[in-house]
Structure 1
Amino acid sequence: MKLAHREIGPAHPPLVIAEIGINHEGDLNVAKEMVRMARDAGCECVKHQTHIVEDEMTAEAQQIFPPNADVSIWEVMQRCALSREDEIELKNYTESLGMIYLSTPFSRAAADFLNDIDVSGFKIGSGEADNLPLIRHIARFGKPIIMSTGMQTIETMRASVQILEDSGVEYALLECTNLYPSPPEIVSLKGVTDLKAAFPNATVGFSDHSIGPTMALASVALGATILERHYTDSRYRKGPDISCSMDPAELKFLIDRSKEIHTALHNEKQRTGPEEDVYRFARASVVADKDLPVGHLITEADIWARRPGSGDIAGYDFDKVVGKTLKVAVTHNQQLKWSDFD
């Protein structure tokens, strides 16, 4: 798939998405500083969350307290949502730095707003991964869609994916576990390969809520081509997502190491040029294991293979020497040569 100018897929290093989300706590200046620091860490894409609370939730949400917050979900979003004007400024600032701006719309009004300001694509969060009317509404814009699949199974995802397939948009599915933070006991790296097998037309990635970069990096070796993690300028901030957020140093680490894994993932199994010097001393050569006279018929007990590999007969040719007759005398530990035999 292609998001703005960025090609995404197995042939390219993973796209690392730094999710600012609501970590700015509603402060535009904080959000912009987070973006700048992400850019300085080498990040190509930041993701925001667009909350238009009155279209997103009903009054019942004022009685729902998320496990990672001490106030209702209504209060969290009302406090942390940027105004439309602030979000436009954040998008413009992000793009002025050469980065891709993404956001997750949590309502129809939010999706319409993001489309109106011409975002490059849409992120659909795990909570909306089975919200069929919203997915259908977003897909009608015809832009690339990245959808997290936390709290879903392969079977419960099929209807949502079918909407994406029918719309003809390019799309990605991210394996995800929605506990903040997620312990390794419930994180599913296998979910990456399960998604690839079940939905072969999808670009597949990993949205990580665990602590540290381990799980995200491991997912690259399984074929994840998008990595998304919550991100903050400082983990000393307060907020429901801070506990599983990376700071700029960890963001840079994730970007650099994921590129290295991607490179190694595509290298064939072979002896490389730089290994030749090591190979010459590390492998073994066939040697006499005792003094042997002219005319001796070699048995397996007469020879052995020892370093270095500078001899004429490599250790892997050991069996070819057995049964040959010496035409010269040799001494213990002498490297044997093919010319020593009749």
Structure 2
Amino acid sequence: MKIAHRDISPKHPPLVVAEIGINHGGSLDVAKGMVLAAHRAGCEMVKHQTHFVDDEMTDEAKQIFPPNADKSIWDVMEECALSKDDEISLKTYAESLGMIYISTPFSRAAADFLNDIGVSAFKIGSGECNHVPLIRHIASFGKPVIMSTGMQTIDGMRPSVQALDDSGVDYALLECTNLYPSPPEIVSLQGITELRNAFPRAVIGFSDHSIGPEMALSAVALGACILERHFTDTRYRKGPDISCSMDPAELKFLIDRSREIHTALHNPKVRTAPEEDVYRFARGSMVADRDLPAGHVVTPSDIWARRPGSGEISVQHFDRLVGAKLTRAVKRNQQLLWSDLDGVKPQANS
């Protein structure tokens, strides 16, 4: 898939998404500071959350308290939501830095707004992963979709994926655990493989709510093409998602290390050119293990392999030498030559 100018696939370095989310606490200035901090860390994409509370929730939400907050979910989102003008300003600022700006709409009105202001892709959160009508509505815009799959089974999310397939948009599915923070006891790295096997058309990624970079980096080794983590300019801020947010240093670490892992994933099992110097001294060459006369028939106890590997015959040919007749006398620890062995056909080392 491609979002704006960024190609996303197993062939490309993982896309690390810094989710600012609601960490700005409703302040545009703080949000812009977080975007700048992510940009300076080398991040390509920032993700926001677009909350139009009246279209997103009913009054019952005022009685629901999330496990990571001391106030109702209504109050949390109302306090942290940016106005339309502020979000437009934030998007403009991120793009002025060359970054890609996307957001998660938590309602139909939010989705319409984001499409109107020209986001290049949509993020669907885990809470809306089974909201097929909203998914259809978002997909109808014809833009790429990244969908988190937390709290869903493979079978439970098939209708949602079918809706994306039917729309024809490109999409990514992110393995996710929705506890803030998520301990390793409930994080599912197997989910990355399960999603890839179940939905071969999807780009697969990992939305991480754990503490530290280990889970996200492990996900890269399993083939994750997108890494999404909450981000803050400093963890000294207060907020329900701060505990599982990375700071600029951790963001840079995740970007750099994930690219290194991606590079190594595509290297075949071969002896590389830089290893040749090591190969020459680290491997053993076949030598006589004692003084041997000409005409002697070699037995296993007559020969051995010792460093360096600069000799003509590598240890890999040990068994081929047994039973051969020596064409000349050799001294102990003398490197053997193919010409020393009557009836043994020379063979290249590997």
- Normalising by the smaller structure, the TM-score range is over 0.9
Counting only pairs closer than 5 Å after superposition, residues 1-342 of structure 1 correspond to structure 2 as 1-342=1-342
Q: Match for 2:43: what amino acid? A: C
Q: Match for 1:330: what amino acid? A: V
Q: Match for 1:302: what amino acid? A: D
Distance apart, 1:334 and its partner CA: 1.6
Distance apart, 1:137 and its partner CA: 1.0
Q: Which runs of 5+ in 1 are unaligned?
A: none
The secondary structure found in structure 1 opposite 2:212 is: coil
Q: Distance in 2 between matches of 1:112 and 1:27?
A: 23
Q: Distance in 2 between matches of 1:138 and 1:328?
A: 83
The secondary structure found in structure 1 opposite 2:123 is: strand
Q: Match for 1:178: what amino acid? A: N
Distance apart, 1:301 and its partner CA: 1.2
Q: Distance in 1 between matches of 2:294 and 2:70?
A: 90
Q: Distance in 2 between matches of 1:72 and 1:304?
A: 76
Residue deviations 1:136-183, cap 9 Å, x none?
A: 111111111000000001000100000000011110000001111111
Q: Distance in 1 between matches of 2:312 and 2:139?
A: 67
Q: Distance in 1 between matches of 2:338 and 2:101?
A: 67
Distance apart, 1:294 and its partner CA: 1.8
Q: Distance in 1 between matches of 2:88 and 2:211?
A: 31
Q: Match for 1:91: what amino acid? A: K
RMSD after superposition:
0.8
Distance apart, 1:333 and its partner CA: 1.7
Q: Match for 2:29: what amino acid? A: N
Residue deviations 1:1-22, cap 9 Å, x none?
A: 0101111101111111000000
The TM-score normalised by the length of structure 2 is: 0.97
Distance apart, 1:339 and its partner CA: 1.9
The secondary structure found in structure 2 opposite 1:276 is: helix
The secondary structure found in structure 1 opposite 2:204 is: strand
Distance apart, 1:94 and its partner CA: 0.5
Q: Match for 1:41: what amino acid? A: A
The secondary structure found in structure 2 opposite 1:236 is: coil
Give the % identical residues.
Answer: 76
Q: Distance in 1 between matches of 2:341 and 2:142?
A: 75
Q: Distance in 1 between matches of 2:7 and 2:67?
A: 37
The secondary structure found in structure 2 opposite 1:217 is: helix
Distance apart, 1:259 and its partner CA: 0.8
Q: Distance in 1 between matches of 2:168 and 2:303?
A: 68
The TM-score normalised by the length of structure 1 is: 0.99
Instruction: State how many pairs are aligned.
Output: 342
Distance apart, 1:335 and its partner CA: 1.3
Residue deviations 1:168-203, cap 9 Å, x none?
A: 111000000111111111111111111010000001
Q: Distance in 2 between matches of 1:107 and 1:29?
A: 25
Match of 2:347 in 1: none
Distance apart, 1:327 and its partner CA: 2.2
Q: Match for 1:310: what amino acid? A: S
Q: Distance in 2 between matches of 1:299 and 1:195?
A: 57
The secondary structure found in structure 1 opposite 2:173 is: strand
The secondary structure found in structure 2 opposite 1:13 is: coil
The secondary structure found in structure 2 opposite 1:175 is: strand
Q: Distance in 1 between matches of 2:173 and 2:329?
A: 70
Q: Distance in 2 between matches of 1:121 and 1:334?
A: 69
Q: Distance in 1 between matches of 2:308 and 2:243?
A: 53
Q: Match for 2:153: what amino acid? A: T
Distance apart, 1:231 and its partner CA: 0.3
The secondary structure found in structure 1 opposite 2:298 is: coil
